[in-house]
Amino acid sequence: MPTAGGGGLPVFTPRRAPVLTADFTSTAQWVAGRSWAYPDGGPVNPGDNKLDHLVEDPSYSRSGTFRATRRPDGNWDTGLLTTEGSDQGFTVRTGDVLEARVRLPTETGAWPAIWTWRDGGQEIDVFEYHPDNPDLLELSNHVREAHRYHRDPAVRPGAWVDLRVE
């Protein structure tokens, strides 16, 4: 269950050694800005408030800070990191534990999320956050058709959220 955290880094007690430690600057571990799911950086979907266009520029995804730039056509250039096609080719497997610490945006229009999505199926949304619902995290398992909306006053724009999924 996600919990909102305060000042220091979270303390996790893994059951076994990590299978992957995310180094977002690693070009061997992560591919920036492209995925089979979004050919040529798109598509956008204004009906779902998805106005982002993915770019391969590493400054959008490897600095540790989310970056988006408004384009003249009203859409946004933004980054994406994926293990798809990376040299290390990491895949989440049954029994793996995923832990992350995420700072939620204060601006509307950003849609931060962490998900697994293998070959167009087996999608699990570890979390999705939409600033137009400022106290809500969406958690979805599209494999087993389950979801939960987690509302908590500690989930708010600018808050740090510690996530652990087993």
Higher pLDDT, 3 or 87: 87
Tell me how far apart the alpha carbons of residues 28 and 83 are, in angstroms, rounded to a whole number: 9
Coarse DSSP helix, strand, coil percentages of the chain, rounded to the nearest 5 percent:
5, 35, 60
Distance of alpha carbon 92 from its chain centroid, rounded? 14
β partners of residue 99: 164
Residue 39 has pLDDT above 60, yes or no: yes
pLDDT tops 50 at residue 47? yes
Token pair 């970056």 in the structure block, residue:
67
pLDDT tens per residue, range 61-75: 777 676 778 889 888
Mean pLDDT of the chain: 77
Count CB atoms within 10 A of the CB of residue 110.
17
Give CA–CA dist 36/9, Å, rounded.
34
**pLDDT band, very low/low/confident/very high, at 48 (cuts 50, 70, 90):** low
* pLDDT, tens digit, 9 for 90 and up, residues 122-156: 777 888 888 778 899 988 887 778 888 999 999 99
pTM exceeds 0.75: no
Structure confidence at residue 3 (pLDDT): 47
3-state secondary structure 44-87: CEHHHCECEEECCCHHHCCCCCCCEEECCCCCEEECCEECCCCC
